[in-house]
Amino acid sequence: MNDDIKQACEVMQRGGIILYPTDTIWGIGCDATNAEAVQRVYKIKQRADSKALIVLTDSEAKVEYYVSEAPETAWQLLDVAVKPLTLIYPGARNLATNLLADDGSIAIRITKEPFSQQLCRLFRKAIVSTSANISGNAAPHNFSEISDEIKNAVDYIVTARRDEIKESLPSSIIKLEADGTIKIIRE
């Protein structure tokens, strides 16, 4: 697993795109601070770049690096979450601007799954995590369901967990406003 993670990190450090397993479903990923790499992800997914993407990180400290101020509500929600939870924070910073929503917010998930957590830890930056499908098509639950079009478009495909067959679900998504308002986007 360590060689796989090192290779994925090297590809992302060079601006490349990876296909990797996460705490939810298989994802297309890249360095979330590299605008050119982010633009390639949009192109691979055939997705309008006006739709923001999710990023993964491995710790609360990194969340605080990528947002100007995390509302206290964020930590309370993360403490009680029973499944992967993506929070949309206001005031994103230190990320590629083409990754952000029009209102300057960013969707961040702290992964606890061993492979993606180690990947984030070794890479030391946020990693884009968007479903491994063409926009509008069903998200693949397992590696075997990912289209050849996606597989051929990325620079590196992680070898870990390719044989796993399970019913994977996307994360819950909650948007946090600076004034404390909470909006459930996806349960």
How many Cα atoms within 13 Å fall on the side-chain side of residue 111?
Answer: 25
Q: Largest Cα–Cα distance of the chain, in whole Å?
A: 45
pLDDT tens per residue across all 187 residues of the chain: 689 999 999 999 999 999 999 999 999 999 999 999 999 999 999 988 778 899 999 999 999 999 998 888 899 999 999 899 999 999 999 999 999 999 999 999 999 999 999 999 999 999 999 999 999 898 888 999 999 999 999 999 999 888 888 877 788 999 998 887 899 998 8
Which of 13, 3, 34 minimizes the C-alpha distance to 124?
13
Q: How many other β-carbons are positioned within 10 Å of the β-carbon of residue 44?
A: 22
pTM for the model stands at 0.93
Domain 2-186 architecture: Alpha-Beta Complex (3.90)
Task: Give the domain ranges of the chain.
Answer: 2-186
Which of 51, 47, 38, 28 minimizes the C-alpha distance to 129?
28
- Mean pLDDT of the chain, nearest integer: 93
Alpha helix stretches (DSSP H) within 19-157:
35-45, 60-66, 72-80, 114-123, 148-153
State both tokens at 114. Answer: 């061993």
pLDDT for position 5 = 96
